[in-house]
């Protein structure tokens, strides 16, 4: 970006709202704090009438813009890949599942990342927390994908205290494995490291805009939390739900501590905070998505209708404290942050995301009219009328697991995952599992009128089904092949001094 012209932050920020702005701005753009919670259920934030109290998240959301028509992906790697690349899974080969412990896979190395584009705009870029976008080559690691520093774990889950993932340690400070944090609870550990990073940035590079990506381990399994955080939830009789509530409380406290630190350092007045979950809550690990249908891993709303909000002292007063119901997807953060906030260029990228900054900051209509939730040809359920598609034929049919949202309508095909409506365990309501006709593979919902997916309209509106099937056919034709390689025994931590590390 070059040197920044010394102008007030608010005047600089106002410039970013103007539609005529294209390319780099002539002053320091705002700091960006992106907090990503893991497996955080739609019901589990205080402002969704939850029994779990989240005073800091509530306060930040109440003073910002709540995103109530916001979508992520049903599981971890897909959401993170779309955040970092701005691309649908069908354009990165990551359509099927998470990147597993021993898989030689990662976000394609020829895809430019959000962090790399922000660095082009002059940002210092740091990540604290979970990566889950590939480990098998060092070229896949965060510090090779645009981040100046990294503290956290590379795999999908680990013990909160030992920092072991299955057979090996998975905690790194940049490239180095670190063994001296055993007993340190990861939510607190990551909060403290983020605070240290903020203090260092404030003292050493205060004139450089900051991008801090904080993908917490919380509230992913295993269910572990210091005892004091469960004390306010002793009344919750379900043990898993009680521990989960404590995990949420610890995360909420950490977020409050980080924002206060930024305020004390004079960084907060120039900061935009984005908060998001990565997918729906995992019911059998204490999470809850009531009143939505389904849970983590499913194509129902409970799997991917996400919690999200934006808060900043720089937002115009007219949108502070508002609820935004425009259609927004996790892939939209890439162009929104790069072009909308940083004033950077999107040249050299081919994105599925849209710049939503005017939608968020001014209340403009969303430029997005459609979301491809996913097409996964490896996840199929044959029936009597369709044979299994042959990979490479590019002919879509209803046995393939897929979902698409277009305007008010959502179409689901194949095997969408658990379809139950499950209230929080202490509510006294019985979960409801619908009885479906044998071989049923197509569902259609008007999500605007029916956000909890009670009324399947597929038989009443065959015209809409046909139109959306054609859209799925279009996306299937342009999809890259699924990349889901077999496990590689060379990944075993016994070959890497007891740690998870690269093996190629």
What b-and-e string marks burial along 471-481, b requiring 16 or more CB atoms within 10 Å of the CB? Answer: ebeebbeebee
- pLDDT, residue 4, reads 29
How far apart are alpha carbons 254 and 51 in whole angstroms? 19
- Beta carbons of 1 and 122 less than 8 angstroms apart: yes
> pLDDT tens across 72-88, in order?
999 999 999 999 999 99
Bridge partners, 130 (sequence order): 153
Pure H helices in 354-454: 357-362
- pLDDT, residue 387, reads 43
* pTM of the predicted protein model: 0.94
- Beta carbons of 156 and 164 less than 8 angstroms apart: no
- pLDDT, residue 175, reads 96
- How many C-alpha atoms does 466 have within 13 Å on its Cβ side? 4
The residues that are catalytic are 76, 132
Q: Give percent of the chain above pLDDT 90.
A: 89
Going by CATH, does the domain composed of 28-362 fall within 3.40.50.620?
no
Residues lower than pLDDT 70 in the chain:
1-26, 380-393
2 C-beta neighbours (distance < 10 Å), count: 7
- Among positive and negative, which fits the CA dihedral 110, 114, 118, 124? negative
How deeply is 183 buried, as exposed, middle or buried, from its count of CB atoms within 10 A (0-12, 13-18, 19+)? Answer: exposed
Task: State the fold for domain 370-478.
Answer: Arylsulfatase, C-terminal domain (3.30.1120)
- pLDDT, residue 212, reads 98
How far apart are alpha carbons 347 and 409 in whole angstroms? 32
Domains of the chain, residue spans: 28-362, 370-478
């Amino acid at each position: 970006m070059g040197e920044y012209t010394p102008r007030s932050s608010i005047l600089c920020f106002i410039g970013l709202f103007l539609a005529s702005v294209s390319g780099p701005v002539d002053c320091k753009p705002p700091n960006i704090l992106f907090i990503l919670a893991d497996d955080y259920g739609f019901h589990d934030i205080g402002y969704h009438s939850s029994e779990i109290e989240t005073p800091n998240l509530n306060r930040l959301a109440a003073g910002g813009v709540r995103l109530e028509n916001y979508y992520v992906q049903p599981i971890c790697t897909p959401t993170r890949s779309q955040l970092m690349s701005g691309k649908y899974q069908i354009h990165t080969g990551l359509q099927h599942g998470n990147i597993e412990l021993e898989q030689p896979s990662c976000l394609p190395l020829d895809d430019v990342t959000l962090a790399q584009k922000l660095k082009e705009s002059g940002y210092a870029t740091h990540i604290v927390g979970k990566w889950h976008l590939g480990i098998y080559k060092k070229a896949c690691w965060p510090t090779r994908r645009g981040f100046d520093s990294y503290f956290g774990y590379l795999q999908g889950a680990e013990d909160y205290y030992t920092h072991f993932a299955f057979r090996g340690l998975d905690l790194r400070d940049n490239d180095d494995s670190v063994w001296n944090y055993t007993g340190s609870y990861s939510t607190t550990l990551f909060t403290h490291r983020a605070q240290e990073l903020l203090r260092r940035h404030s003292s050493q590079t205060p004139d450089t805009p900051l991008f801090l990506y904080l993908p917490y381990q919380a509230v992913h399994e295993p269910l572990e939390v210091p005892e004091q955080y469960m004390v306010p939830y002793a009344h919750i009789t379900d043990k898993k739900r009680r521990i989960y509530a404590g995990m949420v409380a610890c995360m909420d406290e950490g977020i409050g501590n980080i924002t206060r630190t930024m305020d004390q350092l004079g960084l907060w007045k120039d900061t935009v905070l984005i908060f998001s979950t990565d997918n729906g809550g995992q019911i059998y690990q204490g999470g809850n998505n009531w009143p939505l249908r389904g849970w983590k891993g499913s194509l129902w709303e409970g799997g991917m209708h996400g919690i999200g909000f934006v808060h900043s002292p720089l937002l115009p007063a007219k949108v502070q404290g508002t609820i935004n119901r425009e259609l927004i997807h996790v892939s939209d953060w890439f162009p929104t942050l790069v072009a909308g906030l940083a004033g950077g260029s999107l040249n050299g990228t081919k994105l599925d995301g849209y710049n939503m900054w005017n939608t968020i900051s001014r209340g403009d209509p969303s430029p997005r009219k459609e979301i491809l939730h996913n097409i996964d040809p490896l996840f199929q359920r044959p029936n009597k009328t369709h044979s299994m598609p042959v990979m490479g034929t590019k002919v879509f049919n209803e046995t393939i697991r897929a979902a698409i949202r277009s305007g008010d309508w959502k179409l689901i095909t194949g095997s969408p995952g658990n379809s139950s409506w499950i209230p929080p365990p202490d509510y006294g309501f019985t979960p409801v599992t619908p009885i479906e006709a044998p071989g049923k593979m197509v569902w259609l919902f008007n999500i605007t009128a029916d956000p909890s997916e009670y009324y399947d309209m597929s038989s009443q509106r065959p015209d809409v089904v046909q139109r959306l099937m054609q859209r799925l056919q279009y996306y299937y034709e342009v999809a890259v092949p699924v990349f889901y390689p077999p496990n590689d025994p060379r990944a075993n931590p016994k070959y890497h001094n007891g740690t998870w590390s690269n093996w190629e």
